[in-house]
Amino acid sequence: MSIFEQILGAINNPEKEASTNQLGSILDTVQQLSGNYQANPDAVQSAMSIVGNYTKSALQQQRSQSGTAQVNQLINQFGGTQANSQVLSTLFNSSQLQSMIQQISLRTGLDARMIQGMLPILVPLVLNFLKTGNNKGNIQIDNPVVSSFLDSDGDGDVDLQDALNMASRYLAR
């Protein structure tokens, strides 16, 4: 099941935190980010997909070292639509950040300095996608969106760009 199908399932489940407003806020923030940096929206969506892959690896490492509760805590602490540079140092070391910036630059053509400016908002957006699977009353209950995202038996592809495109179509934007 794709990440977007998991998110749609959460939207349709009244016990989950997900809502069309949450998806709309994520899409609006990506659009604002594109406008603020005068960047192609498709390039920003591609960057978010790459950030998703790096975030998946970082959260898998957190889960193996500290457990699922720690992963849930990080997602809930840092997931949102506001910039937060602390999330970068919490999830990534400097070589991971440099590698991510380089890969984004190579795949999108975006300037490295521009990417550095975008990362403190792109990572929280990825985490905000994951928050959609939270239970409303108890965030410690299994989050199926996070479980699907971190599933190492999957194909390894975290295509948040497709999820953003599907969310846009779903919300008729």
Write the pLDDT tens digit of every residue in 58-103: 999 999 999 988 999 999 999 999 999 999 999 999 999 999 999 9
The total number of structural domains that make up the chain = 1
- pLDDT for position 169: 72
Domain extent, residue 96, equals: 3-170
pTM: 0.87
In three-state form (DSSP H/G/I as H, E/B as E, the rest C), the secondary structure along the chain is CCHHHHHHHHHCCCCECCCHHHHHHHHHHHHHHHHHCCCCHHHHHHHHHHHHHHHHHHHHHHHHHHCHHHHHHHHHHHCCCCCCCHHHHHHCCHHHHHHHHHHHHHHHCCCHHHHHHHHHHHHHHHHHHHHCCCECCCCCCCCHHHHHHHCCCCCCCCCHHHHHHHHHHHCCC
Task: List, for the chain, all residue ranges whose pLDDT scores fall below the cut of 70.
Answer: 1, 139-140, 152-166, 172-173
